Every structure is written in C-alpha cells, then in structure tokens.
Amino acid sequence: MIEIRIHGRGGQGSVVAAYVLATTAIDVGRFAQAFPAFGAERRGAPVASFVRIAATPIRRHCQVAQPAFLIIQDETLLELPETLAGLLPGGGIVANTQRDSQALSDTLGHPVHALPATRLSRDTLGRPMPNTALLAAFLTLTNLLPVAGLKDALAQRFKGDVLARNLDLIDQVAAATPAGLWQERAHATSA
Amino acid sequence: MRQALEGSQAIAQAVALCRPQVVAAYPITPQTHIVENLARLVADGKLGCELVSVESEFSAASVALGAACAGSRAYTASASQGILLMSEVLYNIAGLRVPLVLTCANRALSAPLSIWNDQQDSMAVRDAGWIQLYCADNQEAVDITIQAFRIAERCELPVMVCVDGFTLTHTLEPLELPSQEIVDRFLPPYRFSRGLDPLAPLSMGTLVAPEYFTEARHLHHEALLAARQEVEAAAADWAAACGREQAPLVRVDGPPEATIGMLTLGSVFGTLLDARDQFGGPPVKLLHLGCFRPFPTEALRAACTGLEHLIVLERAISPGADGIVGAEVRSALMELDHPPRVHNFAAGLGGRDVPLAIYPRLLDAIGKPHPRMSAIDLRPELLPDKAHAAGEAP
Amino acid sequence: MTTRTLLDLRLNQPRFQGMEAGHRACQGCGQALAARLVLEATGPDVVVANATGCLEVFTTAWPDSAWRVAWLHSLFENTAAVAAGMEAALKAQGRNTKVLAFAGDGGTFDIGFQALSGMLERGHNVLFVCFDNEAYMNTGVQRSGSTPHAAATTTSPAGVARMGKRHLKKDILSIIAAHHIPYAATASVAYPADLRKKVRRGLQVDGPSFLQIHSPCPLGWAHGSELSIEVARLAVQTGLFPLIELERGALTGAMHIRQIRPVTEYLKLQGRFRHLFTDDPRAREELAHLQALADHNIEIYDLLGNSPEALDTEGADTVRRGGLHSA
C-alpha cells in the first residue's frame, strides 16, 4: 500500500486532487481510498487530504500518519511543522513553488521536485488551480499510475474547454518532468 | 458496476435507486453531500421525487412522517444536533409504527461543539424505537440503505442507517452500485397498511389511556425483537441479488480458538482488521455489531462463547455511567456459563483519529487495572491542573 | 499630534474593537465585517447570544476566541430564546447591559424563526441582528428561506429541470413588522455609517429591535473576495436589498437610490446566478422576475425619493443628519 498526503489551502482543490488521484487508481483496477482531514468550510485555511493506493482492498479508516510522498499545493505550508510530519525517510515531495528543487531538497532533507504550478495553471487554465499540474508531475515521477488514467479521471469531472485546458496542462507538465525518477521509491513503499 | 464514489454520493444514489417519492432535506455537517447529491439528481431530471427543503430537522422528520403516512416512500438524513432536534418526532414515528429510512451521519454532540465523528447522536436516541443498523464501510452503507427500505416496510418500523460522518461519508473508494433492475426486484413499491386514504379513513396518533398503553408499548417492543428475522432475511436476499456476502447482526472475523475478542461499531472495524494483520500477537476475534436495535443477544452470545476477554471499543459515552454498548454487551453475556471479562473503552470521541496503534494498546490494557469505562486515547497532558468547564477560554 | 480638522479627530478617536483580528473567516467575508461594525457601535456593555453558523465557528476555535465581549453560543435554533433568558436575568438583577442576538439567515428565517417570533411577541429588550448571507454557508452553501429566487445553491442547483431556487426570498421584514416591535431595519456592509447608526438606534430601544444586515459571502455567492463591498452596494442600488426602517410595523425611513442600477449589474458579478446569463429562455424569464422584484421594492418603499441632493446617496443622508458628527 502506498500512502500520500496532499497539503493545500482551502480553495486550491486539495480534496478534489485526492479524489481524482484515487479515482485514477480505481479506474485502472487498483484499490484506493481518498478523504480530507475534515474541517469547516473556509477559503485560505490549511487543509490536508489523504490517498491510499493498493493492490488489495483497503480496510483501515485512520488518517495517513506516515506518508511515502507529499504533494504541496501552497509553498507557505512548508514552513509548518505538521506538513512534513511523518514523511518516510527518502519520501519525495512535489511542491508548487518557483524555488529550486535542489535547494529545497537540501533544506528539507527529502527529495523535492519543484514546479511553478500556479503560474502554469494560470497560463494554461486561466486561473491559479495548481492541483492538475502537481498530480501530473507526481504520476510522471513515480510511474505509479498512467498519466492517461489521470486524464480519464478528470474527464469525469470536467467538460469542454475546461477539460481541454487541463489535458493540455497535463501534457506540458508530463513532458517537462523526469519520468520514473522516483519509480523505485514508489514501488518499494507499495505493498 | 464498480465506481469511484464518495460515501455520501453512493448513499444518495442508493436512495435514488429505491425510488423515494418524498425526500426531506435539511443540511448539517457531515450529511450535507447526501442531500446535495439528491438535489443534483432532481435538478438534472434523474430523480423524480418531491425534494422538500425544510427549515429545520424537526420539520425534516415531520415531513418524512407526513409523506409516509400519506402513502409515499420517504427519506431523510441527519446527524448530531439534527438528530436531537428531531428526536421528539423520531419517537413519534416509531410509536406510530411508520416505515421510514433515515441516514444518520454519525457525529458528536454539543457541547462542546464538534463537527467530527463519533456515535453519540444515534446512541442518544437508541430508545426511540427505531431499528438501528451500523455500517462498517461504504459498501455496507450502500447495501444496508437498500435493505433498510424493505425491512422498514415489512416490519412497519423506521430504520436508522448509521454511517460514520466524514470517515465514511467523505471517503472516496471503489464501490459497487446495483442496477435499477436488481433493486426493483428486491424492493417492491411502497405499501403502508395504515395509510391515510379518504376511501378508507382512519385516525392515527390518538390519545391512549393507561388501560391500553402498556399493550401498545409491548407490541412495539415485540415488533422490534421480531425485526431481527427481517434484518437477516433482507441480508440473505440481498446477498443473493447482488452477490456480496452480508453480515447483518454480528460479523465475526478471527480464528475460532481465539480467547480474546474486540467488538466495535462502524468504521473502526476496518482499522482493527488491518491493525491485527500488522501487529500480530495473540489470536483475536474481531466483532462488528451491525445491528444495535434490536439488540442481537443470541448472535452476540454465540460469537462470544469461548472468549475469556472481550474488549468493547465504542464511539460514545454516557457520562457518569458505564459505556453504552459496553453495558448492554455485559448484560447480554452475563447469562453465559463462562462470560468473558468485558473491558470497555471509548475511542475517537469528537473525531479524534483512531490509528492502527490502538490495537496493541487495547490488548495491553487487558492485563492492567482500568476503570469500568474510559477513553483509551485520552491525552492526560492536555488536562488542566484544576477542572474547567467546557468552553471557557483559558 | 495636532488636531487639524473634525475629520482628524474622528479618525483618531479609538473605536471599540469587540471582535479582534486573527479569526478564521474567509477573505472578503461580509459577516465578519458586519459583526465588527455592530460592536463598534454598541461598545462593550453588551452580552451576546450567538447562533451556530460561520460567525461562531470562525471566531471561537478553542482555545482561541476573537470576542472581547461576553458571549455565548448554544445551538442553532434557540438564539432568540437564549437571548430572552439573558435579558430576563439582567432585568431581574436590575442591570441595563444590553443583550444582543447574532444569527445568520438560517438561524433567523428558518430554524431560529420560532424562537425569534416568541421573543418579539413577549417584548424582550434584545437587539436581534441577522447576518444575511442568503444560504447555509457554514455547512457548504445550501439554500435557506433567505436565498433569493433563482439563486443556485447546493440544494437548489441549476440544471435541466431547475433554474436555481424556485421560491422567493422570504420577506422577513414584513413578518417582523407584523410583530409591531419598536424598531426594525435593514442595513448593508457597503454602508457602514448607516449600519452603525441603526445599531445605535436599536440599542436605545427599550424592547425588541431587529436588524437584517446584507453580508456577501464570496465563497457562496461565487465572486472575488475583493468585490464584497461592490456587490453589497449593487444589491442596494438595484433595489433588490432596500435599506429601510420600520417602527411598530410602519415604514419610517428608506435610503433613496439616486441612480437605480439594473439587476443584471448585480447578478452578473456572482457565480450563483451564472445560469441566468445563458441563451435559455427560462434564464431570460428569471431575469425579468428578479427585475420585477426590484421594481416592486422601489415602488413600495419609494426608493427613488424626491431628494434634490447633488451628492451621492450616503453622503446626502449624512449631510442631512448633521454631518460627520453622526457618522
């Protein structure tokens, strides 16, 4: 089983990101589970959501305390200790930031893949919604699920022009991300 | 068909498959997505029912009651404060022996105010005379919701389907939704024998003097006890229809030689299953109480025969007394020749996460002195030096 | 520091901060602003009964609280009754601390309505403030009795079979008027001076008073958080949310609109009315309905008035009432 935690701020689509990732896994025949760390509705507040992906049915309903990977939708959250809490040694972080991957890896002590998802989404989607870009990067790095699966999962939620732009963004990001860089890590922590 | 669905979404679709004619909707966290999904189905023309957006839960239950008495299959959902606000109506519905299905998205009760999951709300109305079923996961939520309509209509008793709020309602996972054909074959059209009909008028809800009251209450009690058979029958028929094994009263998972048992209700069951695999240790039987009302005394006794220790892990507390489930379990088992020693704990009150590590802590607690009832996940370091009333700022 | 003008004096005058910064409201929250303005006008000698909803949730996540006044949150439906109890106690003790009740539209129009009506009927000395953001926002934007006609919410979505909420926004002020209480008024966060004036009026009343404050919710209304004030202002200027005052049920004041705006200018800024701006003939019909509602308000409350003032609406009123002293 692989466990992933997504950190963002209310309004950035952290919960949708978790649901989309789990849906992708389910649609390609895996077992998956996604849920938010629940809280009251409000924009801007830190929110976390959890994803589990496995080859067998997932029965536990507790939160993810020791994720194998983190997806960070808002870089200011990297300054909060609870964001990185429990991340497994060597666990990769995909972060929405303009900063440099290597510099962040050195600071945080974990492999970091940085991408300016806000800028990319603003350019391609017309609004700052970083989750699609981050998911595309995550799947390209880990080879955990086919990127085509991500596209299908999005097609269940979006239509028309919005969908087309999201698909375009996925292609852009996938092309610019080192494929399979974290593949070993992803399969090592998979059960 | 296997689909990625959020619990609430799946419950809403299961309800829609049962063809309710009237749905009363009042939002309360964490049930909101259920009524929202139903509203979306209505707005998209996919569900032809009267969706009544009421002004409070008290009215939600009342609208459902009125609809059911007037001859329509009705449904509503609530949680926490909403369950309490409608509690007067819940007793009324059950006493009138009206068939209804209500989803309770289990949530803690104020005060202190909490939006998170525990089972204090449904436990608070356990004596209302409803059938109470608890779902261990979202697939059970789908399956049991559909069965609930049949059970309710055959028994003429309302059914409360309890689903852990957030933990199940807001979790997305692969779920199987049955086809409309399968549901239509399983669930015949709504028929209420005492419906309000100008052609055969009767009076419901009359004043009952002491001369007759005891018998009325006795009949209600008997009906609930007899409902056990209907719960089991519905499960067997549904298993045949959908191909999924059901565990209506008490689900037992573990080796027959185990002398330690752990009993719980709801989503914690899945966590205990994984924890047992992860931590190993002595053989342990894990029990899920899928039916709390009527209380499945015989099934529980059968499941617990041979146990020396039974840990009852519940999601509610009756302040000043023993655990709610714990007390009923102790009472049911005391007539066994060798009843197990019951160790009663609460966990996850107010939505505190129940981690896998609870499993070894529970096993550990068996060997140590502990109060008759306590929260196993209490954090003593958070307790103040002297008692403060809840809600006071420090 | 040299005081040069009356304006300097006023700007340097300390205002009572009944609600501190640092709470967890969304960016652009109309309700947060409204609550702060209300307490600025009341000062500290108050006791507040607050209903369940956004306001109590974002101000009191234990162990923090944003309130600097005495404050109680009980339940959703009983705020007016709790306030009535507080008032009875203070009266029995011979104290004249004012009791305030704070509730959203859910706690006023719907679930809290019964208790409100009872409190008004019994004549308790309570100022009941409704922060009207036109839906159950705290639980995720579900419709309430206050949701405007044709607005989309999660329980009144727009779709093939529906054009948002089918029913009209409940005319709460007429219902309140029928209780013949000493003072009832509507206010808006876009007109803060007017709002504070009305709060002070309610404070002076010995008996029940009611204030309905239109409070935009950027999340629920689906507009940019920087547009809250503009949206609120447009609601007033279209006539959809008239600023009026009632005493014992009779209309005694109305803020006149110098330049009436068509309702589309207000509606088009908000995603909750997005479905009204399509080619669907039903959309055109709904827009006409909403314009008719606005026109009706303009007529029955005489919102055009006969003011010959050259200044803008609020400025005109301020000057007429004696200048900045009263603002």
Please give the residue of chain C at the shortest CA–CA distance from A43.
C26
Q: Is A191 on the interface with B (CB under 8 A)?
A: no
Lowest mean pLDDT among A163-177, B380-394, C99-113, C183-197: B380-394
Minimum distance, in Å, between the CA of residue B171 and any CA atom of chain A: 5
CA distances to A7, A89, A106, A109 from A102, rounded to whole Å, are 20, 17, 6, 10
Q: Are A44 and C27 in contact (CB < 8 Å)?
A: yes
Q: How far apart are CA C122 and CA C80, in angstroms?
A: 11
Residue C276 lies in a domain: yes
pLDDT of the residue at C317: 53
Domain count across chain A: 1
Task: Tell me whether residues A23 and B271 touch, CB distance under 8 A.
Answer: no
Residue B116: its pLDDT value, please? 96
Q: Chain B residues with CB inside 8 Å of C77's CB?
A: 56, 85
A38 CB neighbours in chain B (<8 A) are 30, 115-116, 166, 170, 351
- The first and second tokens of residue A188, run together, are 């090592």
Q: Judge: A35–B167 Cβ closer than 8 Å, yes or no.
A: yes
pLDDT of residue C318: 53
The whole-number pLDDT of residue B394 equals 45
C210 to A104, C101, C117, C135, C246: CA distances (angstroms): 56, 9, 11, 19, 10
Q: For strands C209-214 and C183-188, give the pairing.
A: parallel
Can you tell me the mean pLDDT for B92-119? 97
Q: Domain of residue C125: give its range.
A: 17-300
Q: Coil, helix or strand for C63? A: coil
By residue count, chain A amounts to 191
Distance from CA of B52 to the nearest CA of A (A): 24
**Residue C49 tokens, joined:** 């009964």
Report yes or no on C310 lying in a domain.
Answer: no
The answer, yes or no, to whether the previous bond of C216 is cis (omega within 30 of 0) is: no
With an 8 Å Cβ cutoff, are C158 and B43 in contact?
Answer: yes
Query: For residue B251, what are the CA distances in angstroms to B270, B302, B325, C147, C293?
Result: 12, 11, 16, 46, 59
Partners of B35 on chain C (C-beta within 8 Å) are 142, 155
Task: Report residue B200 as tokens.
Answer: 């055969």
Using a CB-CB distance cutoff of 8 angstroms, which residues of chain A are in contact with residue B166?
Answer: 35, 38
Query: Among C27, C138, C225, whose Cβ lies nearest the Cβ of A41?
Result: C138
Which of C227, C204, C207 lies closest to C217 in space, CA to CA? C227
Judge: A40–C26 Cβ closer than 8 Å, yes or no.
no
Would you say residue C312 lies in a domain? no
The answer to the question of residue C48 being in a domain is yes
Beta bridge partners of A95: A72, A114
Predicted confidence (pLDDT) at residue B198 exceeds the cutoff of 90: no
Helix or strand (DSSP H, E) at C209: strand C209-214
What is chain B's length? 394
Q: How many residues does chain C have?
A: 327
Listed range (A34-43, A125-134, A150-159, C172-181) with the worst mean pLDDT: A34-43
CATH of the domain at C91: 3.40.50.970
Q: Which of A32, A60, A65 sits opposite B271 (nearest CB)?
A: A60
The CATH 3.40.50.920 portion of chain B extends over 250-381
Mind listing the pLDDT tens digit of every residue in chain C (327 residues)? 565 888 887 778 788 999 999 899 999 999 999 999 999 999 999 999 999 999 999 999 888 899 999 999 999 999 999 999 999 999 989 999 999 999 999 999 999 999 999 999 999 999 999 999 999 999 999 999 999 999 999 999 999 899 999 999 999 999 999 999 999 999 999 999 999 999 999 999 999 999 999 999 999 999 999 999 999 999 999 999 999 999 999 999 999 998 899 999 999 999 999 999 999 999 999 999 999 999 999 999 999 976 554 444 555 555 555 554 433
Cα separation, C1 vs B32, whole angstroms:
55
CATH 3.40.50.970 occupies which residues in chain B?
2-242
Rounded CA separation C260/C255 (Å)? 12
Share of chain B above pLDDT 70, in %: 98
**Domain that includes residue A118, residue range:** 2-188
**CB–CB contact B173 A34 (8 Å):** yes
pLDDT score at C260: 93
Q: CA of C146 to nearest chain B CA: how many angstroms apart?
A: 11
- Judged by CB atoms closer than 8 Å, whether chains meet at C218 and A45 is answered as no
**Per-residue pLDDT reduced to its tens digit, A118-128:** 999 999 999 88
The Cα C222–Cα C227 span in angstroms is 10
Contact A26 B4 (CB under 8 A): yes
User: Which helix (H) or strand (E) element contains residue B287?
Assistant: strand B284-289
Q: Is residue C130 part of a domain?
A: yes
A22 touching B (Cβ < 8 Å): yes
Nearest CA in chain A to C139: A41
Minimal C-alpha gap between B351 and chain A (Å): 9
CB contact under 8 Å between C140 and A41, yes or no, is yes
Locate B389 and state its tokens: 């009333």
Distances (CA, A) of C285 to C146, C153, C160, C270, C292: 21, 19, 15, 18, 10
Tell me which of A59-63, B387-391, C247-251 is least confident: B387-391
Residues C207 and C181: beta-carbon distance below 8 Å: yes
Tell whether C235 is covered by a domain. Answer: yes
* Each residue's pLDDT tens digit, B307-352: 999 999 999 999 999 899 999 999 999 999 999 999 999 999 999 9
Contacts of B288 (CB under 8 A, 6+ apart): B134, B136, B247, B250, B251, B253, B263, B264, B265, B269
> Do residues C165 and B51 lie in contact, with contact meaning Cβ atoms separated by under 8 Å?
no
Residue B89's CB: how many other CB atoms inside 10 A?
A: 19
Are β-strands B131-134 and B101-106 bridged in parallel, bridged antiparallel, or unpaired?
Answer: unpaired
Best of B28, B36, B40, B170 to disrupt the C interface (most C CBs within 10 Å) is B36
For position C326, what pLDDT does the model report?
39
Torsion of CA C293, C296, C302, C307, to 10 degrees: 60
Q: What per-residue confidence (pLDDT) applies to B190?
A: 96
Instruction: Please check the confidence at residue A55 and state whether its pLDDT lies above 50.
Output: yes
| Number of structural domains in chain C | 1
What is the pTM assigned to this prediction?
Answer: 0.89
CATH number of B2-242: 3.40.50.970
The dihedral through the CA atoms of B86, B33, B349, B146 has a sign that is positive
Predicted local distance difference test score (pLDDT) of residue C37: 96
Following DSSP, what letter does each residue of B42-91 receive, concatenated?
A: HHTTS--SEEEE-SSHHHHHHHHHHHHHTT--EEEEE-HHHHHHTHHHHH
Pairing of strands B101-106, B159-164: parallel
Q: Which of A69, A74, A79 is nearest to A108 (CA)?
A: A79
Q: Supply the CATH classification number for the domain B250-381.
A: 3.40.50.920
Mean pLDDT, to the nearest integer, of A1-16?
Answer: 92
Confidence grade of residue A84 (pLDDT, cut at 50, 70, 90):
very high
CB contact under 8 A, B172 and A18: yes
